[in-house]
Structure 1
Amino acid sequence: MLPFLLAKLSGQGRNAVKAILARGQVSVDGSPVTAYNHPLAPGASVSVSRERIEEVPPLIGLSIMFEDDDLIVVAKDAGLLSIASAQENEVTAYRQLTEHVRRADPRSRIFVVHRLDRDTSGVMMFAKREEIQQDLQNNWQEAVTERIYVALVEGRVARAEGTISSWLKESKTLKMYSSPYPNDGQHAVTHYRTLEAKSQLSLLEVKLETGRKNQIRVHMQDIGHPVVGDKKYGARSKVLGRLGLHARVLAFVHPGTGEGLRFETDIPKAFLNVLKD
Structure 2
Amino acid sequence: MPLTTATTTVMPEQVGRVDSVVKALVGLSHSQVRGMFDHGCVAINGEPCEDGGQEVEVGDAIELRYDANQRYREKKKVRWDDRTFTIAYEDNDLIVVDKAAGTLTIPTNQEEKNTLVDRVSLYLSHSKRYRQAFVVHRLDREVSGLLVIGKSQEVADALIEQFKHRKPMRLYSAICAGLVAADEGTFDSHMATGNNLDRYITAPSRHTERAVTHYRVIKRMDDTTEVEIRLETGKRNQIRVQFADAGHPVLGDPRYETDKSMHPRWIRKRIALHAKTLGFDHPTSGKPIAIESKLPAAMAKFLRGGIGRQK
- Name the TM-score class by shorter chain: 0.7 to 0.9
Instruction: Render the CA deviation track for 1:3-55: whole Å, top value 9, x for unaligned.
Output: 779x6249xxxxxxxxx99xxx943339xx997846798344687558868x6
Q: Which residue among 11, 24, 29 is the counterpart of 2:41?
A: 29
Instruction: Report the alpha carbon displacement of residue 240 of structure 1 after superposing the two structures with TM.
Output: 4.5
SS in 1 for 2:62: coil
Distance change (3 Å), C-alpha of 1:246 and 1:34: farther
Q: Mapping of 1:111-150 within 5 angstroms?
A: 111-142=134-165, 144-150=167-173
State the partner residue of 1:178: 201
TM-score by length of 1: 0.81
Q: Which residue among 102, 111, 120 is the counterpart of 1:97?
A: 120
1:231 aligns with 2:254: yes
Instruction: Report the alpha carbon displacement of residue 141 of structure 1 after superposing the two structures with TM.
Output: 4.1
Identity fraction in percent:
30
CA distance in 1, matches of 2:145, 2:106: 15
Instruction: Render the CA deviation track for 1:132-161: whole Å, top value 9, x for unaligned.
Output: 222222341436331110111111111111
State the partner residue of 1:155: 178
Native 8 Å contact 2:80 2:123 kept in 1: no
RMSD: 3.3
TM-score by length of 2: 0.73
1:8 aligns with 2:30: yes
Q: Which residue among 80, 100, 107 is the counterpart of 1:84?
A: 107
SS in 1 for 2:140: coil
Counterpart of 2:101, as a letter, is A
Instruction: Report the alpha carbon displacement of residue 56 of structure 1 after superposing the two structures with TM.
Output: 5.5
Native 8 Å contact 1:37 1:66 kept in 2: no
SS in 2 for 1:42: strand
1:42 aligns with 2:65: no
Instruction: Report the alpha carbon displacement of residue 266 of structure 1 after superposing the two structures with TM.
Output: 1.8
CA distance in 2, matches of 1:52, 1:139: 36
CA distance in 1, matches of 2:184, 2:146: 24
CA distance in 1, matches of 2:211, 2:189: 6
Native 8 Å contact 2:122 2:130 kept in 1: no
1:259 aligns with 2:279: no
CA distance in 2, matches of 1:203, 1:88: 35
Instruction: Render the CA deviation track for 1:217-239: whole Å, top value 9, x for unaligned.
Output: 00110110000000201122361
Which structure 1 residue ranges, 5 or more long, are not aligned?
A: 11-19
State the partner residue of 1:65: 88
Native 8 Å contact 1:218 1:233 kept in 2: yes
Native 8 Å contact 1:167 1:183 kept in 2: no
Distance change (3 Å), C-alpha of 1:51 and 1:139: closer
Instruction: Render the CA deviation track for 1:187-209: whole Å, top value 9, x for unaligned.
Output: 11111111011121111000111
Instruction: Report the alpha carbon displacement of residue 269 of structure 1 after superposing the two structures with TM.
Output: 3.6
CA distance in 1, matches of 2:74, 2:275: 40
Instruction: Report the alpha carbon displacement of residue 216 of structure 1 after superposing the two structures with TM.
Output: 0.1
Instruction: Report the alpha carbon displacement of residue 114 of structure 1 after superposing the two structures with TM.
Output: 0.6
Counterpart of 2:92, as a letter, is D
Counterpart of 1:276, as a letter, is R
Structure with larger Rg = 2
Which structure 2 residue ranges, 5 or more long, are not aligned?
A: 1-16, 24-28, 43-48, 306-311
